């Protein structure tokens, strides 16, 4: 036989082998679908194999999904906090801002959040030793009676901003 005949028989044999495997696979599929015992035994053997191997696919997928949900919620919370800062953070920024346009905001009315921020800052300066007891009490009284942002700024204007955690 020459090479051309061998190649032809190899091709025909390959097609026949594929056909046999396809028919065998189809037959096994039909048997599994129509036979009552196979659908009943399949979950039992799969569960036993899962326990025997110590591999829990369901738990793995549940953990992966739970981690993805936690990551999504964390990123969503961080994005919300970045876009909508808390009132206290806005108050700290407004009170401690000493830029060229700071005087434009001095007439702005304030609320309890801004007063609380200044009281916290004054207590931090007192703990750092920059204020004595009498001066701190006097400034806290003025802070609680303040009506505008400028009045609050004057109370902390001579204090450094660095190292103050509000």
Q: What is the pLDDT of residues 67-91, one digit of tens each?
A: 888 998 988 888 877 666 565 555 5
Taking the C-alpha atoms of residue 94 and residue 38, their distance in angstroms, rounded to an integer, is 73
128 Cβ neighbours under 8 A, 6+ residues apart = 163
65 Cβ neighbours under 8 A, 6+ residues apart = none
Residue 146 near residue 152 (C-beta atoms within 8 A): yes
Handedness of CA 86, 91, 93, 99 (dihedral sign): positive
Q: What does the pLDDT read at residue 17?
A: 77
Cα separations (Å) of 23 from 15, 27, 96, 126, 158? 12, 6, 80, 88, 90
Residue range 42-61: mean pLDDT, rounded: 55
- Range among 5-9, 26-30, 106-110, 140-144 rated most confident: 140-144
Q: What does the pLDDT read at residue 60?
A: 65
Residue 166 has pLDDT above 50, yes or no: no
Taking the C-alpha atoms of residue 72 and residue 113, their distance in angstroms, rounded to an integer, is 31
Taking the C-alpha atoms of residue 1 and residue 12, their distance in angstroms, rounded to an integer, is 16
Regarding pTM above 0.85, the answer is no
Residue range 131-154: mean pLDDT, rounded: 90
Residue 149 has pLDDT above 60, yes or no: yes
| Share above pLDDT 90 across residues of the chain, in percent, rounded to a whole number | 10
């Amino acid at each position: 036989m020459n090479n051309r005949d061998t190649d032809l028989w190899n091709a025909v044999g390959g097609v026949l082998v594929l056909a046999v495997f396809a028919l065998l696979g189809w037959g096994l599929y039909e048997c599994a679908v129509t036979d009552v015992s196979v659908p009943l035994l399949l979950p039992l053997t799969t569960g036993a194999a899962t326990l025997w191997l110590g591999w829990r696919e369901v738990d793995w997928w549940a953990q992966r999904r739970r981690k993805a949900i936690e990551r999504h919620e964390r990123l969503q919370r961080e994005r919300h906090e970045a876009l909508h800062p808390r009132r206290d953070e806005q108050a700290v920024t407004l009170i401690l801002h000493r830029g060229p346009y700071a005087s434009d905001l001095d007439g702005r009315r304030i609320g309890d959040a801004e007063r609380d921020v200044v009281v916290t800052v004054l207590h931090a300066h007192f703990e750092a030793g920059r204020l004595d007891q009498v001066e701190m009490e006097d400034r806290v009284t003025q802070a609680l009676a303040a009506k505008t942002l400028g009045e609050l700024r004057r109370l902390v204007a001579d204090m450094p901003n660095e190292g103050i955690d509000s």
